[in-house]
Amino acid sequence: MADATPREIIASAEPESGPRRWTLRQRIVLSLIVAFGTLVIRLIGWTLRIAVSSEEGGQQTLEQRPLVASFWHSCIIPSTYIWRDMGIRVMSSFSYDGEYMGRIIRKFGFVPVKGSSSRNPIRALLGLRRALEQGWTVAFTLDGPRGPRHKVKVGPTGLGRSTGLALTMFHVGVEKGWTLNSWDRMVIPKPFSRVLVRFGKLIYVPTDASDEDLARYNQELQAALDRVCEFAEANASKAGTSEFPYYRRK
C-alpha cells in the first residue's frame, strides 16, 4: 500500500462519510469554491520559493514518514501545495468548511478522514491509526475547524501513545501574503513569495504514558508549535539564502 500512486491512494480510500444535508444551492457553491480554490492553490503554489529548516532532533525532509503531524489552520493553503501527492491522511470535519476543504485537498493527493473533536472522534482516530500502521503520515490542523486559534487539542498525543510513532510539528512562514479577516487569520501567499517551513523537535510519547502524562505532552506540543510559528514568521524573508537554501522535492 505504501508504494501506491496518489491516484490509487485516493481510489482505495474509504468513501467520505457524514451527513448529506447540503441543499442544491450549497452544492453549487461547494463546486465553485472547490474549483476556484484548487486553481488558486496550484497557480500560486507553483511560484513559491520554498526553504525548509528544522530544530535539532526534528524532521529533516518533507517526505519522511510515518509521523503524526500537527500545524495551525492559518497556513493550510501553502501546506496543501507543499505536501501535495504524498498520500497524507488528514482529519476533516463534518462542517461546511470541512466539506469544501476536504474536497480541495483530495485534488492534491491527500486523503480526508471524516471526524472531529465533537463528532465521531473515535472512528476518525481509528482510521488515522490504521493509516499510520500502513506507513502513511497523518496530519492535524490542531486549532481547526473553528478555533480557538493556535490552541492545541487532543488527538496527536493519543495517537503517538497508541502507535509509538513520533509527533512532528511545523509552521509555514510566508514572506508576503494576504491575511484574511477570519478566525484563523488564514494567509494566502502572494505569487513568488519566499516561504520557510520550520519543523520542531520530534516528540515521543511512551506507550505506557498515563492520561496525566498526556496533558504534559500536550503542553510540550503547544510550546513546540508556538516556537516554530514564531521562527518561521520571523525568518521567511531569508528563504533562499545560504542559511536557508531552497528545497527541492525528491
Per-residue pLDDT, averaged over 9-33, amounts to 67
Task: Give the containing element (helix H, strand E) for 90.
Answer: strand 89-92
What is the CA angle 64-9-184, rounded to 5? Answer: 65
CA distance 209 to 207: 6
- Cβ atoms of residues 197 and 247 within 8 Å: yes
Q: How confident is the model at residue 227 (pLDDT cuts 50, 70, 90)?
A: very high
pLDDT in tens, 156-189: 999 999 999 999 999 999 999 999 999 999 999 9
pTM of the model: 0.86
Asked whether the beta carbons of 138 and 202 are under 8 A apart, the reply is: no
* Confidence label for 20 from pLDDT (cuts 50, 70 and 90): low
pLDDT at 17: 41
